[in-house]
């Protein structure tokens, strides 16, 4: 679903409505059930075609040009959404593998977490029925991501292909209603208007901020911090992590990243690597109690027997897994940068 929608809220809410009641019915552990849904839902932050990556590509393109002016070097290679999509594939798969490993370890050491007494041996299991359910979404993912990664379509054009593919799947399943189209159009208009208003406000803020020399103050602060680029990068990551508690990713991407991005790029950090680190950092922030957005999304649709504390405790192991991934990516940046270089 992360690869189909690219939105955290949609994935968490949908899986919370569909999967969580069944997990509770089958006596699964409440903490790990909610943790799995929240953590897997935030994969929409980095799994292509993530909206965050599309916006970061545009912002970092401008940050690249500013960084070349700061450092006095030639303008670096442009940053495209294709580069970020390619760079996110390996970290995304690595993170999913960490989730799998943790769930497997929990099930081995405590089988009561996932009891199997709900299995009905008389159930008429047909693999063809399962394939009919799985193949259409997979084809939709291949259509959207494949058209972007192979240069057939831009992210905007691939979004149109994805919308068309979704409509065709709905028509085939006979789930098409005029009210559904109207509701989808209305929500799309609301989200698009919100993004553009934030973009306009962020652009005005950035112009005023630079006009008063604020960018030079931030640049001097970041570059003159004792400890070199590593400490500067760590401080920026902590600030973005804390801001993720209170601000939506649109505001952080359009307001905060253009301020700190050019200075970090001028210090020698790869813009593709930096953009992915910011995205994963925000993913971790949106999962962290008590203000994580994913937690509120799930709390809004979770059954009454699920306590807020269950959700908070459930996500803690996955937060540490994401922090572990950030450490690995910092130590081995080629995990991000290798695949974009192949295109």
Q: How confident is the model at residue 195 (pLDDT cuts 50, 70, 90)?
A: low
**Packing angle, helices 155-172 and 127-149, rounded to 10:** 160
How many other CB atoms are there within 10 angstroms of residue 17's CB atom? 13
CA distance 102 to 30: 16
Domain for residue 272, yes or no? yes
Residues across the chain: 343
Which of the residue ranges 10-14, 283-287, 320-324 would you say has the lowest mean pLDDT?
Answer: 10-14
pLDDT in tens, 62-108: 777 776 666 666 555 667 778 888 888 899 899 999 999 999 998 88
User: 150: which 2 tokens?
Assistant: 């192979």
Percent share of the chain, pLDDT over 70? 85
Domain for residue 246, yes or no? yes
Domain for residue 164, yes or no? no
Q: Identify the top-confidence range among 204-218, 223-237, 302-316.
A: 302-316
Domain for residue 334, yes or no? yes
Q: What is the mean pLDDT of residues 275-289?
A: 87
User: 12: which 2 tokens?
Assistant: 């968490």
Domain for residue 74, yes or no? yes
pLDDT of 157 strictly over 90: no
Domain for residue 145, yes or no? no
Domain for residue 168, yes or no? no
User: 156: which 2 tokens?
Assistant: 């905007």
CA distance 335 to 185: 38
Which of the residue ranges 69-73, 201-205, 260-264, 266-270 would you say has the lowest mean pLDDT?
Answer: 69-73
pLDDT of 190 strictly over 90: no
Closest CA to 47 of 92, 14, 96, 97: 92
Structural domain for 100, as ranges: 2-115+186-342
For the entire predicted model, the pTM comes to 0.79
User: 126: which 2 tokens?
Assistant: 């047909």
Structural domains counted in the chain: 1
Closest CA to 85 of 38, 155, 142: 155
Domain for residue 152, yes or no? no
Closest CA to 20 of 292, 306, 308: 306
């Amino acid at each position: 679903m992360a690869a189909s929608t690219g939105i955290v809220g949609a994935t968490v809410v949908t899986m919370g409505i569909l999967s969580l009641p069944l997990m509770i019915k089958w006596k699964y552990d409440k903490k790990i059930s909610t943790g799995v849904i929240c953590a897997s839902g935030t994969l929409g932050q980095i799994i292509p075609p993530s909206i965050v990556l599309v916006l970061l590509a545009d912002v970092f393109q401008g940050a690249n040009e500013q960084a070349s002016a700061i450092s006095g070097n030639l303008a670096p290679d442009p940053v495209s959404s294709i580069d970020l999509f390619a760079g996110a594939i390996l970290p995304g798969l690595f993170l999913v593998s960490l989730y799998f490993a943790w769930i497997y370890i929990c099930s081995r050491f405590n089988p009561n977490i996932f009891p199997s007494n709900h299995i009905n041996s008389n159930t008429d299991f047909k693999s063809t029925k399962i394939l009919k359910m799985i193949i259409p979404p997979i084809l939709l993912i291949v259509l959207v991501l494949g058209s972007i990664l192979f240069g057939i379509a831009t992210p905007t054009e691939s979004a149109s292909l994805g919308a068309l593919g979704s409509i065709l799947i709905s028509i085939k399943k006979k789930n098409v209603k005029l009210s559904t189209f109207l509701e989808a159009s209305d929500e799309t208009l609301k989200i698009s208007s919100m993004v553009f208003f934030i973009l306009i406000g962020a652009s005005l803020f950035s112009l005023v901020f630079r006009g008063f020399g604020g960018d030079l103050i931030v640049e001097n602060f970041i570059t003159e911090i004792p400890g070199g680029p590593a400490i500067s990068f760590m401080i920026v990551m902590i600030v973005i992590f804390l801001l993720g508690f209170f601000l939506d990713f649109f505001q952080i991407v359009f307001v905060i990243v253009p301020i700190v991005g050019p200075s970090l790029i001028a210090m020698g950090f790869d813009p593709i690597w930096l953009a992915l680190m910011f995205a994963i950092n925000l993913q971790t922030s949106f999962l962290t109690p008590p203000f994580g957005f994913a937690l509120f999304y799930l709390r809004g649709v979770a059954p009454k027997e699920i306590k807020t504390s269950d959700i908070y405790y459930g996500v803690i192991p996955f937060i540490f897994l994401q922090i572990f991934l950030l450490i690995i990516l910092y130590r081995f940046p080629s995990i991000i940068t290798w695949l974009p270089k192949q295109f």
